[in-house]
Structure 1
Amino acid sequence: MKNLPAKESQLEIENLKNHVETLRDTIEDMKTHMYEIENKHNESSLDQKCEKHQKATESFINLQFEKSNLMEEVETLKEKIQDMGSLICETQKKQNEENELLSQEYRTFELEQEEIKRSLNRHIKFLMISKDKPALKYEEAQLEIENLINDVETLKDTVQDMKTQMYEIQNEHNQGQERIRKAQNILQLNLEETTKKLEQLSECERELVAYQNLTTEFSNSKVSLTDIKSLIKISLDQMWEEHHKATESFINLQFEKSSLMKDIKIMKGTVQDMGSLIYKTQKKQDEEYMQMVQDYSTLHLEQEEIKKSINEGNMLLKKMRNLFHSVQNCVSELPLRPLLYAGGTGAATVIIYYLMRKTVKEAEADQDEESASEDSGLLSEVPQDQAMISKDEAVLKYQEAQLEIENLKNHVDTLKDTVQDMKTHMYKIKIKQNQEQESEQKAHKALQLEHVETMKKLQHCKELLSECERERVAHQNLTVKYNNARVSLTDIKAAIKSSSDQVWEKHQKAMESFINLQFENSNLMKDVGILKSRIQDMKSLIYETQKEQEEEYTRVIQDYNTLHLEQEQIKRSLNQSKLELKKFIPDRLRPWLPMTATGIVSLQGLVEIGLLLGKGGEGEEEDVYRDSRKRDLGWYFECV
């Protein structure tokens, strides 16, 4: 398709060369003919010819003005092409920046995954080391499972966000490419229109040259009376042929007018399509904005829920501290016998077991105390059985925790696979972008080559115009010589009046049709200018909408970053609260105290039962026994 305009331009150049040669031949013939009829011409006919020549020069000046305007339009189109190239470069830079941001987010995601792996390995090592403490393992496994579940949920959210971002980036990239293609098509259409207009101007110039030649031939066609008949016949035949050519040119101009009207309709259709595209883009922007508002509201609600959970955790910490202080005070004031009645709990039973073993060794000599030691032995067997049962339960819970950890590992592996798939998808997208960039560069080079060819054509047209000006100067010199050689021909008037009047009427009709066509051409040029201004307005609107989209995108990214920072701060505060809870509970009570609110309530209930039982049984022997055993329990109170 690109070779067709080049061939057409070569054919036009050859036709112009042939026409120039024919013009030179006709000029030489006219010179010879001028020398023959120097003394045979009428003053009135010369005045008419001068007026015709002035009109022809005026039309030639108007055509030159139109040509200069078209050259200015060609320069404006060149500037538009350069602007489009700069816009393409800017869009490519923006795409590269967005790809860099996505790669950075992906790197942060990989770092978070590595940290999660490290934490899992640490927890597994810790569980392998602490085999003798099943209750601690169970509690730590529960905490690890909760942390892993939260991490997995965050990973899922990040993967979904990455998918949505990739989808949006692909849509924006496709839309930008479609806009660029449409703009290139519009520019190509404008270039084709300018080339057509230049061809029309060249044809008009040819017609003017032909008209000048006709005027010279008509002026030289006045001969003596003997040769008038033959000259009149020849001139009438020539004028008939010229009239036929003029009618053909008139038909061609009407056909060109119809083609220009069709082009105007096409331009109007393109303007309407651009309006519909702008309306669709505005709709899409509104929908995306609503989606972003909904996402922002959901994030805000999640943030409020997290803040509520933090407040509840702080309240639980305060309650735990108050309960712990109350337990300290109660334990410092408790007698020994209520602790024996509260032997179901873990810590009290262990302490009583060790104390009763000491009392059995001391009370072997006394018979009265043997019965008490037997009762204590019966009581000590119960906590041993309970301890074994609790150990079995802890082992079962530990196994369940291991199963949950394995499931989480499998889930992490699936997430790794999804991340690898995302990597491959990103690589394919980059390859597609590079291919599209190469295709765009090729198209740009092709447009540059076409532009160079058009410039060559314009230079060739300038050369032809310079040659036409030289010939016009030669024609003026000939007219000066002809004016100097004017002679009175009295007998020619009667013979030429009839033919000259008819020719003059035909010439007037042709001039009127030519003027009408010029007026219609000017109106069409105005319509084309209006359409170009509309297209420029549409381009400016598209540029403004792109700016607004970029500003909204930056605002949303800033809001997302602020929310992400707030969530990280909330996570840090939660981790700190967990660490404070772990530090708050001593290591010796941790295996026997559950880490839930129900366990705290049960401990508080047991303490209250012990207080009530302590108020019921009082005696001197118990007081002495209590005072003697407080020393053994001092280490426990210090730990608390």
Structure 2
Amino acid sequence: MNKFLSALDTSVADAPLRPLLYTAGAAATAAGIYYYVKRDGKTTTSDSEVTTEDPVCDWATEPALLQPMEVPLDQVTNAVTEAEEKIQKLVMSNTQLEERVRELEELLCEARRDGMKSKASQAEAEEKHQKAEETITQLEEEKSDLTKQVESLLETVQNRGHLLSETHRECETLLMNGCERDQEADSILQVENKKMKKTLMDKEELLKVFLIEAEEKHQKALETIAQLEVDKSDLTKQLETLQDMWILLGEAHRECDKLKAEETMLSQLEVVKSDQKDQVSHGIVQNMEHLLTAFILILFFLSLFIIRTKCLSSTT
């Protein structure tokens, strides 16, 4: 700038210096904004790295709570990156503007030297100067547009930074709530576990008592079964004895019936004998043969009776 001011004449200094000063101020402003945005982006990144680490709860234990917040965080990060890229482009454009300003300064110096050397080239120098002024005016317009873009980007970055901080706070709140819920669920599960253990112990004691009683009942049942087996064997023997006695009793009844029949026949023979005696006493000779036959029959039945009596006495 000093070289440029020393080269210009007093008649030309008032017109072109003001746009050049504006351009230099715009470049300094853009550089300051870039530095501020860069520093703010680093601070936001470092804060996000610090707040994402939670010593109380593990991120892997609460995927359902963190998953809805991943999309806005990525969007904010991408927006900040895009803003930084745009600011870098604006800084590069500002650098190009400064180079063009330097070129214009050189052109103005050259035009001044040419005007001092020859008045014939003054018109050409004035034309170049006019072109330089037009170019500077255009550059000022571009600078104002770039300044507006930088301000809008800075405002966007600030808004995204606020959104990012709010998102971090919401994540911390959700994590704290999730940890509290986990602690409550853990305490409830511990209480239920204690109750279940107590119930199981009571049931085990009852089962032990039932097993002891069942073993005693089983032992008594085995003893009862053994006693019943002994009684069964005794009853079987008694039944066999009774069957034998029943058979003997039946035979005795049959023998008694036979004896009664023989006694009846003997009584009949006695009647016949008495009749025969009456007939003999009355002198009936024609029935002697019948009497002899009857006597033979009586002897036969008597022999049978004696034999039966001997058989019964031998069996008893």
TM-score, normalised to structure 1, is 0.28
Residue type of the alignment partner of 2:90: E
Q: Tell me the secondary structure at the aligned position of residue 55 of structure 1.
A: coil
Distance in 1 (CA, whole Å) between partners of 2:173 and 2:51 is 15
In the other structure, the counterpart of 1:113 is none
Distance in 2 (CA, whole Å) between partners of 1:92 and 1:188 is 25
1:562 CA displacement = 0.7
Does 1:535 find its partner at 2:157? yes
In the other structure, the counterpart of 2:25 is 65
Distance in 2 (CA, whole Å) between partners of 1:571 and 1:197 is 71
**Compared with structure 1, are the counterparts of its residues 543 and 187 closer, same or farther at alpha carbon in structure 2 (3 Å cutoff)?**
same
1:531 CA displacement = 2.9
Task: Write out aligned runs for 1:306-385 (5 A).
Answer: none
Distance in 2 (CA, whole Å) between partners of 1:216 and 1:575 is 105
How many pairs are equivalent? 211
In the other structure, the counterpart of 2:277 is none
Residue type of the alignment partner of 1:536: Q
1:567 CA displacement = 2.0
**Compared with structure 1, are the counterparts of its residues 56 and 212 closer, same or farther at alpha carbon in structure 2 (3 Å cutoff)?**
farther
Residue type of the alignment partner of 2:50: E
Distance in 1 (CA, whole Å) between partners of 2:147 and 2:122 is 37
**Compared with structure 1, are the counterparts of its residues 535 and 77 closer, same or farther at alpha carbon in structure 2 (3 Å cutoff)?**
closer
Q: Tell me the secondary structure at the aligned position of residue 16 of structure 2.
A: helix
User: 1:70, 1:198 within 8 Å by CA — same for their partners in 2?
Assistant: no
1:524 CA displacement = 3.6
Distance in 2 (CA, whole Å) between partners of 1:83 and 1:535 is 12
**Compared with structure 1, are the counterparts of its residues 54 and 580 closer, same or farther at alpha carbon in structure 2 (3 Å cutoff)?**
same
User: 2:97, 2:139 within 8 Å by CA — same for their partners in 1?
Assistant: no
Task: Write out aligned runs for 1:11-160 (5 A).
Answer: 49-87=9-47, 89-90=49-50, 93-94=53-54
1:572 CA displacement = 0.6
In the other structure, the counterpart of 2:104 is 207
User: 1:67, 1:198 within 8 Å by CA — same for their partners in 2?
Assistant: yes
Residue type of the alignment partner of 2:156: R
Q: Tell me the secondary structure at the aligned position of residue 190 of structure 2.
A: helix
Does 1:192 find its partner at 2:80? no
Residue type of the alignment partner of 2:103: R
User: 1:67, 1:201 within 8 Å by CA — same for their partners in 2?
Assistant: yes
Once the two structures are superposed, what CA deviation does each residue of 1:586-615 show, in whole Å capped at 9, x if it has no partner?
84444558xxxxxxxxxxxxxxxxxxxxxx
Q: Structure 1 stretches of 5 or more lacking a match?
A: 1-22, 31-45, 103-161, 223-231, 247-506, 594-640
| Greater radius of gyration (CA) | 2
**Compared with structure 1, are the counterparts of its residues 219 and 58 closer, same or farther at alpha carbon in structure 2 (3 Å cutoff)?**
farther
User: 1:56, 1:212 within 8 Å by CA — same for their partners in 2?
Assistant: no
Distance in 1 (CA, whole Å) between partners of 2:50 and 2:186 is 30
Superposition RMSD in Å: 4.0
Distance in 2 (CA, whole Å) between partners of 1:538 and 1:92 is 17
User: 1:88, 1:180 within 8 Å by CA — same for their partners in 2?
Assistant: no
1:54 CA displacement = 2.6
1:537 CA displacement = 0.6
1:511 CA displacement = 3.3
**Compared with structure 1, are the counterparts of its residues 88 and 546 closer, same or farther at alpha carbon in structure 2 (3 Å cutoff)?**
closer
User: 2:23, 2:98 within 8 Å by CA — same for their partners in 1?
Assistant: yes
Which structure is richer in relative contact order (CA contacts within 8 A, separation 6 or more)?
A: 1
User: 1:77, 1:187 within 8 Å by CA — same for their partners in 2?
Assistant: yes
